[in-house]
Amino acid sequence: MIVTLQAGATLKEITGVIRLLESFGASPSISRDCGCTLVTAATSRLPIDAAQVRALPAVKDVHEDVHPFKRVSRDYHPENTVVEVKGARFGDGSFPVIAGPCAVESEAQIHDCARAVAAAGATVLRGGAFKPRSSPYAFQGLGEEGLRFMADAGRANRLATVSEVMSISQIEAVARYIDILQIGARNMQNFDLLREVGRVDKPVMLKRGPSAKIEELLLAAEYIHDAGTPRVILCERGIRTFETATRNTLDISLVPVVKELSHLPIVIDPAHASGKREYVPALTLAALAVGADGAMVEVHPVPAKALSDGRQSLHYGEFEKLMADVRRFAALRSVQPA
Ligand code: PEP
Ligand code: MN
């Protein structure tokens, strides 16, 4: 609930509004956005009786919740949230690109790849050390050793790092080495995991589940925010549809919808969405045009030899060309939707 106060409300009257909201188990906060005083109660133990709040003399208007998510809603935070990680800024109108291999395969591979993507203009290095694989016999990642290689490669090339955490038991290690904790698509509704990563003082990149609605994505982000981390980056990576020409279907229309509903930044992952490297450049530029806050692409020194997702990984030369195109198109993007 958001309560707009009368311009001349006294301190005693304002305290009365806060006490009433607290009696419903809410923890209200006061802000002075839009030139007026607002008292907001994002969550409460009991339903708040709007009629009782409206009846208070200090109250001008009561905005009841229209969405089940609260803290991540634009109603509660009209300004864009900007998540800054080592110079990469998600949500300020720029278009940072996250790049790197699907999985960290060796120390040499991740260092070589980090050098190449940094030289081309990426600002965040990706690479999985704990890999969610459909088959238990497929390469599962290097584990903690891979995290150490990632951290070194990031440091050596002045790149921030992002890597997936698949379970609560991995959080401590991933948070020790990596700047952004990634929640993979398969874990988007692992609510215990969401709460635990929300307790760590690190930004989280939350990927949309393959069959999750936008509202469910935002509710998953709400778990992380509610647990203590407002620095959440959303990521669209394609959803499962009847179409089989691509690995998943990139739901590009999610971007303006999320921009309207939420203040959180949203990035696009065209690699996992399409599954084919030849579609990645066009979809990355589409993400830029539609107003996304960045993109995440997979790049590998020798995609044909990649231990995972080689088919959708760009060669260095292709990534360089894409980054040149991103810079040209970004210069044209002067107006931010929402
Ligand atoms: C990844 O980005 O490494 C990944 C496994 O993607 P997703 O969770 O979207 O399948
Ligand atoms: Mn991958």
Indicate the pLDDT class of residue 184, thresholds 50, 70 and 90. very high
pLDDT at 338 over 70: no
Q: Ligand 1 center to residue 272 CA distance, Å?
A: 7
Provide the number of structural domains found in the chain.
2
Q: What is the DSSP letter of 105?
A: -
Q: What is the CATH number of the domain that holds 175?
A: 3.20.20.70
Specify the pairing of strand 2-5 against strand 160-164: unpaired
Lookup result for tokens 């584990």 = 143
pLDDT digits (tens, 9 = 90+) for 106-123: 999 999 999 999 999 999
What pLDDT score was predicted for residue 33? 66
| 154 and 19 within one domain | no
Q: Which ligand is nearest to the CA of 308?
A: 2
108-140 burial string, b = 16+ CB within 10 Å, else e? Answer: ebbbbbbbbbbebbbbbbbbbbbbeeeeeeeeb
Q: What is the maximal distance between C-alpha atoms in the chain? A: 70
| 23 and 110 within one domain | no
Residue 292 located in a structural domain: yes
**Residue 256: exposure state from Cβ atoms within 10 A (0-12, 13-18, ≥19):** middle
What pLDDT score was predicted for residue 326? 97
Our answer on whether the CB atom of 128 is closer than 6 Å to any ligand 1 atom is yes
pLDDT digits (tens, 9 = 90+) for 51-108: 999 999 999 999 998 899 999 999 989 899 999 999 999 999 999 999 999 999 999 9
| 207 and 144 within one domain | yes
Ligand 1, pocket-test mutation among 134, 140, 237, most atoms within 8 A of CB: 237
Residue 75 located in a structural domain: no
Q: What is the CATH number of the domain that holds 52?
A: 3.30.70.1140
Our answer on whether the CB atom of 141 is closer than 6 Å to any ligand 1 atom is no
Residue 236 located in a structural domain: yes
Q: Which domain does 280 fall in, by range?
A: 83-332
pLDDT at 173 over 60: yes
Residue 69 located in a structural domain: no
Residue 264 located in a structural domain: yes
pLDDT at 154 over 70: yes
Mean pLDDT across 147-152:
98
Cα of 150 vs its chain's centroid, Å: 20
Q: Ligand 1 center to residue 76 CA distance, Å?
A: 30
Residue 101 near residue 95 (C-beta atoms within 8 A): no
Q: Ligand 2 center to residue 170 CA distance, Å?
A: 19
Q: Categorise residue 20: left if φ over 0, alpha if ψ from -120 to 50, beta otherwise.
A: alpha
Our answer on whether the CB atom of 259 is closer than 6 Å to any ligand 1 atom is no
pLDDT at 8 over 50: yes
Residue 112 located in a structural domain: yes
Rounded distance, CA 258 to CA 112, Å?
36
In this structure, the residue with its CA closest to atom 10 of ligand 1 is 185
Residue 337 located in a structural domain: no
pLDDT, averaged across the chain: 95
| 315 and 276 within one domain | yes
Indicate the pLDDT class of residue 175, thresholds 50, 70 and 90. very high
**Residue 9: exposure state from Cβ atoms within 10 A (0-12, 13-18, ≥19):** buried
What pLDDT score was predicted for residue 337? 47
| 295 and 238 within one domain | yes
Indicate the pLDDT class of residue 35, thresholds 50, 70 and 90. confident
Residue 17 located in a structural domain: yes
| 165 and 54 within one domain | no
Q: What is the DSSP letter of 318?
A: H
| 167 and 28 within one domain | no
Indicate the pLDDT class of residue 245, thresholds 50, 70 and 90. very high
In this structure, the residue with its CA closest to atom 4 of ligand 1 is 184
pLDDT at 312 over 90: yes
Torsion of CA 193, 198, 39, 27, to 10 degrees: 70
Half-sphere exposure of 218 (CA within 13 A, CB side): 22
Indicate the pLDDT class of residue 334, thresholds 50, 70 and 90. low
| 55 and 157 within one domain | no
Q: Which atom of ligand 1 is nearest to the CA of 164?
A: 3
* Range name among 17-21, 27-31, 256-260 with the lowest pLDDT average: 27-31
Rounded distance, CA 268 to CA 120, Å?
19
Q: Which helix (H) or strand (E) holds 154?
A: helix 144-156
**DSSP string across 169-226:** GGHHHHHHH-SEEEEPGGGTT-HHHHHHHHTSSS-EEEEPPTT--HHHHHHHHHHHHH
Helix (H, G, I), strand (E, B) or coil at 111: helix
| 204 and 131 within one domain | yes
Higher pLDDT, 34 or 53: 53
What pLDDT score was predicted for residue 37? 86
What pLDDT score was predicted for residue 42? 83
What pLDDT score was predicted for residue 44? 85
pLDDT digits (tens, 9 = 90+) for 264-297: 999 999 999 999 999 999 999 999 999 999 999 9
pLDDT at 336 over 60: no
| 32 and 94 within one domain | no
| 271 and 218 within one domain | yes
| 295 and 192 within one domain | yes
Ligand 2 (single-atom ion) residues, CB below 5 Å: 102, 309
